[in-house]
Amino acid sequence: MPKILILGACGQIGTELTTKLRSIHGKNNVIASDINTRNLELVHSGPFEIIDAKNFNAVRDCCIDYKIDTVYLMAALLSATGEKYPMEAWDLNMNSLFHVLNLAKDGTIKRIFWPSSIAVFGPTTPKVNTPQHTICEPTTVYGITKQVGERWCEYYHNKLGVDVRSLRYPGIISHKAMPGGGTTDYAVEIYHEAIKTGHYNCFLSEHTELPMIFMEDAIKATIDLMEADAKALSIRSSYNLASISFTPEDLANSIKTHLPDFTIEYNPDFRQAIADSWPSSIDDSVAQEDWNWSAQYSLEAMTAEMLQQLKLRYK
């Protein structure tokens, strides 16, 4: 059984990753940690430690105390927050990565998952079916941290033998924990507002097409990659990952098939420029070839599931 530490476990992905990994490996083999205890359900569902991922000694001591072999580093400041707090984003996103890379280099831990993002791409990247290997000139602080992080992951693998694995996540849509500080967050907020008020004020314009993925698929991709045979992996920077691409208008229309009275208005803010710098669709054929990746959820299936789950929550 692997012994796993999740840093940033109370966030949008960490919450569901922790639950899934505990169901696979047993709750006592999956240590959840975050900077605070904001998700009480998670805190009480198995071992939990308060850890600031920027604090090397705290991360190292936890790895030693629990004899951790695998770390999922999910703590990060995302694109919109990164523009407001550039130095904080650099500090958290880079130093937490160096801490776990160095723990693997020293042999304290054996395997790392680190999320990258479609934010590594920029306005000079081909926008449609963005290839695995292409121009990456990100224009956001978050994108810069992810691009630099990818280079360091590949360096630590090639030069120092570190088993680090990574995915370039698209926007992730889920109904459990809310995302925070991202540009793709509109695609989660819209479902909550559709159920709560029947109206959404969208911060992106109606034709802004972005790559997205439903949480179930994102978790499956993460676990499949971590379970893949190391010899099959040709990418040690970060794999392109694709599922569905849609615009706010497409999403509103899919909600209207269930809630015909739903209305939407568009008032783009500073996040529009971030979205405009990102691809509209991603080519993930290398992930398909190396570790058999394929997504399950369509926009229609995701909308049906999101609305059903949120109706139960808000009823």
Query: Do the beta carbons of residue 2 and residue 29 sit within 8 Å?
Result: yes
Report the C-alpha gap between 161 and 151 in whole angstroms: 14
Three-state SS at 204: coil
As a three-state string, the secondary structure of 6-74 is: EECCCCHHHHHHHHHHHHHHCHHHEEEEECCCCCHHHHCCCCEEECCCCCHHHHHHHHHHCCCCEEEEC
Identity of the residue numbered 95: N
Q: Please state the closest distance from residue 247 (CB atom) to ligand AKB, in A.
A: 15
How many residues in total does the chain contain?
315
Nearer to ligand AKB, 169 or 246 (CB): 169
142 is catalytic: yes
CB 248 within 8 A of CB 89: no
In the complex, which residues of this chain contact ligand AKB (CB under 6 A)? 78-79, 117-119, 142, 169, 171, 182-184
Pick 109 or 275: Cβ nearer ligand AKB: 275
Catalytic position from the list 72, 142, 156, 186: 142
| Shortest separation between residue 100's beta carbon and ligand AKB, angstroms | 19
* Termini Cα distance of the chain: 40
Q: Structure tokens of 169?
A: 């996540």
Distance between CA atoms of 258 and 270, rounded to whole angstroms? 31
Least CB distance to ligand AKB at residue 198 (A): 25
Nearer Cβ to ligand AKB, position 49 or 209? 209
Three-class DSSP category at 142:
helix
CB atoms within 10 A of CB 285: 14
Query: Cβ of 180: how many Cβ atoms within 10 Å?
Result: 12
To the nearest whole angstrom, how small is the minimum distance from the Cβ of residue 142 to ligand AKB?
A: 6
CB of 127 to ligand AKB, least distance (A): 15
**For ligand AKB, the closer CB: 7 or 103:** 7
Active site residues: 142
